[in-house]
Chains A and B, each alone.
Chain A
Amino acid sequence: MTTATPMPTRRTPLWRNVRVLRFVLQVVFLVGVAGLLLYLVDNVVGNLERLGIPTGFDYLDQPAGFAIPDSDFSSAQSLGDALIVGVQNTLKVSLIGIVLATIIGVLVGVARLSSNWLVRKSAALYVETFRNIPVLVIILFWYLGVVLRLPPIGEAVEIPDLLVISNRGIAIPWFDKVGEGFAFGLVALVGLAAAVLVWIWRTRRFDRTGAPHRRMLWAGGVLLAILAVGFFAAGSPWALEFPERGERSTTGGFRLSPEYAALLIGLALYTASHIAEIVRGSILAVPGGQSEAANAVGLSGWQRLRHVVLPQAFRISVPPIANQYLNLMKNSSLGIAISYYELTKITRVSIAQQAPAVQAILLLMGIYLLISLSIALVTNLVNRRLTVKGRR
């Protein structure tokens, strides 16, 4: 329409001119939206002033007045610091949850296509059970029904030097810092850089000569070697500590608190059932001709799966699986139901401790939005890297 031959403007009345109309429509729309927002903001400010509630974000500097279990946070620290602990806890459960959910999800998804009838049906049973129960019910069940019902610390189930399972949580061996970690951190960075360089070198060599690149093996080996040498050179800054049963809790190692364990397991099991369906769908979506072609060129079953089917299935499944990762992160807000001190729980407690609700919730939503956008950014980069050039 815009490229039509220029017409004498006086012949087009303003109310029939598409450009004018579009402009007017958008202005009206924007004025309407802005007016609504202004009205709401005006109401909020008016109500806050009337009730004598501060309007800014200064409250973040106030002392929190509550302690956070399983952290060094003390009640004298500020509400702002509490939120930072909350972000850390949210990320802690989300990232580990994402890893667990992916592993379980891929295994179950492949199992759903197994040739073994029993395996196939078991996987289907798992998926249909967990997909159709609200994630909050699953989390509550694990917390109230399983983790808190574990034997008390006095009668803890123990595998010496490995595991202590009680209703105070699950303790596993973990590295404790015993020396200066800075030098080793530097070595780790150098090792990582070296691994990347080796990776690029192997890839280039493969492109040039076609010889097997084995870049995973090479890069991983280089990284491990440098880390091992650096570890001892820096004077062994970490040592593996084994959990031991104490009077009221466990010492040494790493203790998953009951809340953390229940939230993690619940989120992972629920999300895995969705990921399994995506994996299954993606494998089925690879055209049958691809497998037939792989057979025709004489690839073995494993080669067919590894080099032909899975890479293509993986490509299809990245966007929906990324979506599930986002969901898992957002569902970690259900930690509030079992008092796991992540972002939402800390915001809720802050509000109970006289933090202004409006600002606290706006900040909460802002932080979640930021985390969501970061995850989306990473997965979009991965997706772009995987998309075959020239196809969509």
Chain B
Amino acid sequence: MATQIDVLEPLPLPEGPPERRLPPREWVRENLFGSVFDTVLTVLFGLFLAWAAYRVGKFVFVDANWEIVERNLTTLMVGSFPRDQLWRLWAALFVLAASLGFGAGAIGAQRRREVAEGRAQPAPKGVAARRLAPVVLLVGVLLWFSGSLRNVVLVLAVAAVGALFNLVGRRAPRRLERSVPLLVLAGVLLAFLLVVAFGGVKWSDWGGFLLTIFLAVGGILMSFPVGVLLALGRRSSLPAVRLVCTGYIEFIRGVPLVALIFMGVFMIGFFLPQGVERPDNIVRVLVAFVMFTSAYVAEIVRGGLQSVPAGQIEAAQALGLSPYRTTRQIVLPQALRSVIPALVGQFISLYKDTSLVFVVGLAELLTIAENITKQPDFLGQGLIVETLVFASFVYWTGSYWMSRESQRLERRLGLGER
């Protein structure tokens, strides 16, 4: 029972756990062999972990036949994207790196100014290299599988462009502060246009990890405005509006995403009038994702709206602001700022949920991972474990990295602290 007593001790603060200062010997005694029960636990868990690590290690480095992933790497990443158009994706990557690097630099500089002026708490410590570790790991593994020097050089160039624009962002003039999100968004749009416009590739030809990212990013960007409107509607003083919005949100939240995807794939055709061109499956699935995610975004934003003190609204009214301006300039900025981490959480959820398009056979990462095991060269060899492990690894690194960043953001905004 000794362990359970210590369960109640407050968690060590992130900046300096007290155990670290103990000499190794005492640390081991205290944390691993504190009592008989503790010792038994340590031995049992140690044996199990060693066995698991051995099995996983043996599988990854000895038993697994990674040839299937090596040969299908491009398919896993982009699906049936025309191979002679791949340069568009690289170009888009450069633009993305530039805009995201710029955004990160500018926001970092802004934060430092706020801290210097005493308007914000200093950020929790975190070395950039460590923060980016999951992404670096993912890119490293992908490059290793691709085994092409050209790709290594290209990735390094993308990283260099990102770092360069990070520096530019840090030195960005202060009057640009408010337009940084817009600039970043413009960069993302430009990257998107580089791929689809000017004789580019229509998104019905996208697939693999590219489609995962497209569905997740497109889904969250489109869900956000709908979700904000739904949240405002649910808090409206007009009963009719409130009723309709609440009804929609609760309906969507009670239904599985798979059912909505089916609705998108099987029913949307019936909703459109005769003669209108039927949308392709990617659009249908995207509609389902937006319908689904907007309800959850609405609930998150509603939480933020509730956290804005009533005095803020009363003060705005006392100043004679119209209801529209009160919402737009007083309530929403405060509400949205406080729900950023939760929105990131929702994005992670959506990122993982894109795998559900598997059930309608859309060529997303998971679908491809399953399909390539049926290629003549690999049929009947039971390579599904290899491809699933690869897909899990890709999902895991993205999701883990984003959840870490969102926790960091949460701590920085001082949320979640009671």
A residues bordering B, Cβ < 8 Å? 22, 25-27, 29-30, 33, 40, 43-44, 46-48, 50, 110, 113-119, 122, 128-129, 131-137, 140-141, 144-145, 149, 283-285, 287-288, 291, 301-302, 304-305, 309, 326, 330-334, 336-337, 344, 347-348, 351, 357-358, 361, 364-365, 368-369, 372-373, 376
Contacts and interface: CB of A to CB of B under 8 A. Distances in A.
Given A334-B356, A344-B259, A364-B259, A115 B38 contact: yes
Contacts of A291: 8
Interface of B is mostly: helix
B31 interface: yes
B262 A122 contact: no
Contact of A117 (B32, B240, B255, B274): B32
Contacts of A26: 238-241
Contacts of B403: 131-132
B238 A361 contact: no
Interface stretch (B112-120, B124-132, B186-194, B392-400): B392-400
Contacts of B10: 284, 288
B200 interface: no
A334 to B, nearest CB: 7
Nearest to A291: B8
Contacts of B327: none
B266 A357 contact: yes
B137 interface: no
Given A29-B238, A114-B3, A137 B8 contact: no
A161 to B, nearest CB: 27
Given A119-B41, A132-B403, A305-B4, A29 B240 contact: yes
Contacts of B378: none
Contacts of A140: 366, 370, 388
Which 10 residue pairs spanning A and B have beta carbons closest together? A301-B5, A115-B6, A372-B254, A330-B256, A117-B31, A132-B399, A26-B240, A134-B352, A333-B256, A357-B266
B270 A283 contact: no
Interface string B299-310: 000000000000
Given A115-B2, A118-B45, 13 more contacts: A110-B7, A113-B11, A114-B41, A119-B3, A129-B396, A132-B403, A287-B418, A336-B359, A337-B358, A348-B262, A357-B267, A361-B262, A365-B255
Given A364-B259, A368-B259, A301 B4 contact: yes
Given A115-B31, A133-B399, A333-B258, A33 B7 contact: no
A378 to B, nearest CB: 14
Interface of A is mostly: helix
B395 A132 contact: yes
A116 B384 contact: no
A116 B34 contact: yes
A133 B7 contact: no
Contacts of B324: none
Given A116-B3, A134-B395, A351-B266, A33 B45 contact: no
Nearest to B384: A144
16 contacts: A27-B240, A29-B241, A29-B244, A115-B7, A115-B31, A115-B34, A115-B38, A119-B42, A128-B400, A132-B399, A134-B352, A136-B366, A141-B392, A285-B418, A344-B256, A372-B254
Nearest to B27: A117
A357 B399 CA distance: 34
B295 to A, nearest CB: 13
A47 B274 contact: yes
A364 B3 contact: no
A284 B41 CA distance: 23
Given A137-B355, A358-B270, A119 B45 contact: yes
B391 interface: yes
Contact of B271 (A40, A144, A283, A337): A40
A236 to B, nearest CB: 40
Contacts of B254: 326, 368-369, 372-373, 376
Nearest to B396: A132
A281 to B, nearest CB: 9
